[in-house]
A and B are shown apart, each in its own frame.
Chain A
């Protein structure tokens, strides 16, 4: 492709991140609009790539670049690292598009939110900030309701008066946020577009660093400790994964880290090249490494802290977009290039997934902090992704990919709702102190309802389209005669039952936050600005559209999956003896 669209889509946000910093320095919170423009550009490029892929016979679109111009020797590790490739097919497309769409939406949402957060952190009382510029005295709670107005006034200040010290300080912070957001977004997309294990690891860590700084700089609570905890957990996970990658790369027949198959050709299983005694260790290292990212039960403890205390727009990316990437890598690694090794462990992984589903859901029932509740809900939702992948059937894996999309849109909406309440109600996060908010925040309440319904797998939202595919995969194994059939029956039924837990915490939270009596302290709460509502409404519409017309995702997805699975694994319908 002459225009290198995928390379641009990934590198442009990285290259322009210093400009983003300067935009923040100059324009304050509205500098975030620069990030919006850049991410929108990248999203459109990605969309073009996706359409190109769809129109091609193989259903894929790839770009390949020389990475290491020097070759040392064929058997040498460095020489065989391979190319730097970017690749879009039915599997990576939903991931990459979801990530960029969410990042773009979040960049808009950040304008009022980060203004609230940075002013709060810098101790700039909003009253004096506004009073100095326009003479208006506003309460902290009410301030961001009129973001546009105050934006305009602060901008006027910049033009007319000497930029005062406070402005310079806050604007530096805005600049930092914008630059980090752009880097983080590009890192996530780079990960899912990678064609090479080393490249994958590079991007995997590349998304970690900016998100670490985002939490450390702009987070809540003990943000220093929490961000460090986040960094260490996920970094250790990533290193485990890297060990597995290196083992595969050096031991495989191809002596190569290029792990994607040629479109249209069923992938060869590299297991034959690896000595049998290593294999369980490789599988173990990669699975555990990625399960840290996916926050599977037992490895999840960093998540409620990180997602709860991150600045809310970043929570709306961490939770919906980032952690699911672990699922993407498992799909690529195991169900495609190591299927036979995978079939020895997938029952265990399914159990782990089901436990995660229940555990996350039950923990969510016990939360009072709305952001922690949503974080535990993400743990539970990752359980669904893990279960779908564990089935290793076309339906189940397809469902997991779709689940990334539907959890992405749904949870992003919900974190945005939580953030809106934080901004509009003066940092309120305790559900006990909420109630009746739908009287004050009607549009937010509708968006929240859509988000919760998507999370609980309600038909007419995309959550159902992913859910039935995942369970469909589970029931295919449960009904097909096989050595573990009885286990699969139990697991599939438990998985379906877990949606009752999900429905309980979703609707209970909805009722506790939005219904009932409005506490008198919340009488002054107002609906958020268009910057906050716009992205939420957009995502809510997307949620419903994909729920009714899932073909946009299902089409390319199953096209790709069906070319990757041998007929035995296809199971649509279950092979009849």
Chain B
């Protein structure tokens, strides 16, 4: 299978170095003009994608083993260089099936979005900063994926977080047209609109909360193992008394696992740290497509995929890690429902897509969670399903965002209600968006169908508590299909909105996107169709075998076999649910035979639900009222009432005491001779008395 023979050190390292170097070079290239800069940035994206693809050819994934071949001669790639010698820490890349799959997905989608940026960002100012941050992001994302140890992974992890922060706030002068949310709209007194720099700040600090937990988790493990290296951690488990057993003996093993999952929750915008992602839509749409749909937000799923099997191996039993996987699955399922419900009621196109992303990542988490809730032999089903959905979501969500970018640009509005009837003027965008939206809905035979249904059937197969997660997943799938169709209907069918009409009256005309923009998203639509067609034939089986080989190294023997026939029941249920959802959406927003407004107004329950969803389940307002406003006003209160009133007076009090004492003592020195003589005489008398007393004693 290996074409280039043995694994080389160079290529896996180049995969992440090339985009970072490309980012730096593009800054230099900007001196020779925008075209040079853009070419360097996009070119480095392409090279990274080709290099990532080559990982499949230079590594032999078919029969690799971990045991016995550690650090120097890993049959895959595990090359290392000295990093912090004093602490015996090494830096390195690790190529295994999981990283290779992720690297390929990330790098190709990134390249297409960079290409799309050429058209989308044309004419913007500060493009040097844009391209630098985009390529720097891609490099960091690949570093995150390829790292062979926690510390290095954390570097990439925060690196992508920084790029996300900086790119959300790309239009940092905060003109009102760049704001996300509707100005003036409030939930319980908390404004629901954010300027780009505010949204970036929110994203960074919220994910930071997760990262803090993540860092604590890896430091707890480090305290017992003395290493951050994934392979070393796995190999060390061979000893009878090892880091895991010792952690378990002090009861910190499962807490450490939870803390690490905290990082995944923050980065992947899962409940309860999901609120930053919808507001991250203040950034350019290409950024939303790259960072907040296809790549960075999936990092949490990747992290769970990396540490989950390690924990299973460390615990040597699924029972000990049951709480961990149950939490992953529960949070995933709940988030899928939470976000899908909000996507149904929003008018802002990008926010709908953002909630949809949160919801779809919830499905991935559900897949990985139910893997650990099933038996060891079935571990690979949920695991494969989760990552399959990651790939397929990356394709269709990136395409959806890129379409949205064009639609918002051409209509000059971020609201779907201000679009309408666009289908005739832009056929390519219309069909592309229709296909990818159907893939999101889970319609046969698109890739979204296979990946989502395989998660749901894995949940069904795991049984026990997973049955509840399955039901939640089904409900969320119904909502997904509905809001996908609602989106298509509102944008492309029906009458043109007054906004569009006004535009056309002013002489503007609604037309198709330029090829630099439609080619990338049309390609992704084709990819989602193609993946859907090959999935049942061989792709899903191939992916499953790859992951089952990966899991075998963590002592999880879980052969993967996929057949439509054995899964026919869950597949049909899933498809039926998707069709029902699509149908409701179709009737309400395409045929318009149901008026959604009258449905909502029909009773207090529907109205209440609508408001509840619309106000983000009041979670965002709750966070502001509990964590933001009280901290800021509390800080001010503490400053005025403690720092200035209690601590500060020491500075005034001490010298004042000295002054007062001096005033008091100064009074003795009256300058009156008689008093001095009297005092002198009195002193002598007292002295004599004292002497007499002491002499007497």
- Real complex partners, A and B? yes
**Hey, which bits of chain A sit against chain B, CB under 8 A?**
229, 298, 300-302, 305, 362-363, 365-367, 436, 438-439, 453, 458-460, 464, 468, 471-472, 475-476, 478-481, 492-493, 496-497, 499-500, 503-504, 507-508, 511, 514-518, 550-551, 554-555, 557-559, 571-574, 576-577
Is the CB of B648 closer than 8 A to any CB of chain A? Answer: yes
Main secondary structure of the interface of B (DSSP, over half): helix
Contact, CB under 8 Å: B219 / A515: no
Is the CB of B272 closer than 8 A to any CB of chain A? Answer: no
**Hey, which bits of chain B sit against chain A, CB under 8 A?**
82-87, 151, 154-155, 157-159, 162, 165, 169, 172-174, 195-198, 200-201, 204-205, 208-209, 212, 215-216, 219-220, 222-226, 241, 243, 246-247, 250, 252, 631-632, 634-636, 638-640, 643, 647-648, 650-651
* Distance between Cα atoms of A516 and B171 in the complex (Å): 9
Contact, CB under 8 Å: A365 / B635: yes
Closest to A236 in B: B654
* Distance between Cα atoms of A517 and B643 in the complex (Å): 32
Q: Smallest Cβ distance from B292 to chain A, in angstroms?
A: 18
Most buried by A among B172, B223, B224, B243: B223
Contact, CB under 8 Å: A471 / B162: no
Partner of A508, one of B174, B201, B219, B247: B201
| 19 contacting pairs across A/B (C-beta < 8 A) | A305-B651, A363-B638, A365-B636, A436-B173, A436-B174, A459-B155, A468-B215, A475-B216, A496-B216, A500-B209, A507-B205, A511-B172, A515-B197, A516-B173, A550-B84, A555-B85, A557-B86, A572-B87, A573-B223
Q: Smallest Cβ distance from A415 to chain B, in angstroms?
A: 21
Contact, CB under 8 Å: B219 / A559: no
Residues of chain A lying within 8 A (CB to CB) of residue B215: 468, 471, 496
Additional A-B contacts beyond A503-B205, A516-B172, A574-B224 (9; CB < 8 A)? A363-B639, A366-B639, A493-B216, A500-B205, A500-B208, A511-B172, A516-B195, A554-B85, A555-B86
Contact, CB under 8 Å: A479 / B223: yes
* Distance between Cα atoms of A439 and B174 in the complex (Å): 12
Main secondary structure of the interface of A (DSSP, over half): helix
Known contacts A459-B155, A507-B201; decide if A438 and B220 are in contact (CB<8 Å): no
Contact, CB under 8 Å: A302 / B651: yes
Closest to A557 in B: B86
* Distance between Cα atoms of A508 and B198 in the complex (Å): 8
Contact, CB under 8 Å: A472 / B635: no
Q: Smallest Cβ distance from A443 to chain B, in angstroms?
A: 12
Closest to B209 in A: A500
Known contacts A479-B250, A511-B198; decide if A573 and B222 are in contact (CB<8 Å): yes
Contact, CB under 8 Å: A464 / B222: no
Residues of chain B lying within 8 A (CB to CB) of residue A459: 154-155, 157-159
Contact, CB under 8 Å: A475 / B241: no
Q: Smallest Cβ distance from B69 to chain A, in angstroms?
A: 24
Known contacts A476-B223, A516-B195; decide if A301 and B648 are in contact (CB<8 Å): yes
* Distance between Cα atoms of A497 and B632 in the complex (Å): 16
Contact, CB under 8 Å: A453 / B162: yes
Contact, CB under 8 Å: A558 / B86: yes
Closest to A361 in B: B635
Residues of chain A lying within 8 A (CB to CB) of residue B640: 366
Residues of chain A lying within 8 A (CB to CB) of residue B223: 472, 475-476, 478-480, 571, 573-574
* Distance between Cα atoms of A301 and B643 in the complex (Å): 8
Closest to B650 in A: A301
Closest to A226 in B: B651
Q: Smallest Cβ distance from B20 to chain A, in angstroms?
A: 10
Contact, CB under 8 Å: B638 / A518: no
* Distance between Cα atoms of A438 and B467 in the complex (Å): 53
Residues of chain A lying within 8 A (CB to CB) of residue B246: 576-577
Q: Smallest Cβ distance from A329 to chain B, in angstroms?
A: 23
Contact, CB under 8 Å: B224 / A500: no
Question: Shortest 5 CB-CB distances between A and B: which pairs?
Answer: A573-B226, A558-B86, A515-B197, A366-B639, A365-B635
* Distance between Cα atoms of A366 and B635 in the complex (Å): 5
Contact, CB under 8 Å: A573 / B216: no
* Distance between Cα atoms of A478 and B173 in the complex (Å): 45
Residues of chain B lying within 8 A (CB to CB) of residue A438: 172
Closest to B647 in A: A301
Residues of chain A lying within 8 A (CB to CB) of residue B198: 511
Q: Smallest Cβ distance from B126 to chain A, in angstroms?
A: 9
Contact, CB under 8 Å: B86 / A439: no
Known contacts A363-B638, A475-B219, A476-B223; decide if A514 and B84 are in contact (CB<8 Å): no
* Distance between Cα atoms of A239 and B193 in the complex (Å): 56
Partner of B632, one of A365, A496, A551, A554: A365
* Distance between Cα atoms of A479 and B244 in the complex (Å): 12
Most buried by B among A362, A497, A577: A362
Contact, CB under 8 Å: A363 / B643: yes
Residues of chain A lying within 8 A (CB to CB) of residue B174: 436, 515-517
Closest to A555 in B: B86
* Distance between Cα atoms of A515 and B173 in the complex (Å): 6
Closest to A367 in B: B639
* Distance between Cα atoms of A554 and B635 in the complex (Å): 36
Residues of chain A lying within 8 A (CB to CB) of residue B648: 301
Contact, CB under 8 Å: A554 / B84: yes
* Distance between Cα atoms of A303 and B151 in the complex (Å): 35
Q: Smallest Cβ distance from B202 to chain A, in angstroms?
A: 10
